[in-house]
A and B are shown apart, each in its own frame.
Chain A
Amino acid sequence: MIPPAAFLLLSAVLFSLGVLAFFVKKDLLTQFMAVEVMLNASNLAFLAMAKASGQAAGQVIVLFVITVAAAEAVIGLAIIVLIFRQRRTIRTDELKDLRG
Chain B
Amino acid sequence: MRDSDFGLTLAAGKTKYRGKFHGLGYLRYPVALCIGSVLAMILSRNQAHNALFLVLAFSCLGGLFGLLDAPFAAAAQVLVYAGAIMVLFLFAIMMFNLREPAPRERRTLRTFLAAILGLVLFAELAIAAVRAIAPGSVSPGEPDGLAGLGRLLFTDYLYAFEITSLLILAALVGALALAGKKEGG
Residue ranges of A at the interface with B (Cβ–Cβ < 8 Å)? 1-21, 23-27, 29-30, 32-34, 36-37, 40, 43-45, 47-57, 59-60, 62-64, 66-75, 77-82, 84-86, 90-91
Contact = CB atoms under 8 A, between A and B. Distances in A.
Contact of A55 (B73, B133, B141, B181): B141
Contacts of B142: 54
A63 to B, nearest CB: 6
B8 interface: no
A66 B117 contact: no
A62 B50 CA distance: 24
Interface of B (DSSP majority class): helix
B129 A62 contact: no
Contacts of A40: 57-58, 61, 77, 81
B41 A30 contact: yes
A82 B172 CA distance: 16
Contacts of A6: 24, 27
Contacts of A64: 157, 160, 164
Contacts of B113: 23
A26 B105 contact: yes
Nearest to A80: B92
Given A53-B141, A64-B164, A68-B167, A19 B117 contact: yes
A79 B110 CA distance: 25
How many B residues are at the interface, by size bracket?
35 or more
A26 B149 CA distance: 40
A84 B121 CA distance: 32
Contacts of B76: 62-63, 66
A96 to B, nearest CB: 14
Interface of B: 19-20, 23-24, 27, 31, 34-35, 38-39, 41-42, 47, 50-51, 54, 57-58, 61, 64-65, 67-70, 72-73, 76-77, 80-81, 84-85, 88-89, 92-93, 95-96, 102, 105, 110-111, 113-115, 117-119, 121-122, 125-126, 128-130, 132-133, 138-145, 148-149, 152-153, 156-157, 160, 164, 167-168, 170-172, 174-175, 178-179, 181, 183-184
Contacts of A29: 47, 50, 89, 92-93, 96
B73 A63 contact: yes
Residue among B27, B113, B132, B181 having the largest count of chain A Cβ atoms under 10 Å: B132
Contact of B70 (A32, A62, A70): A62
Contact of A2 (B23, B54, B175, B179): B23
A21 B38 contact: yes
A19 to B, nearest CB: 5
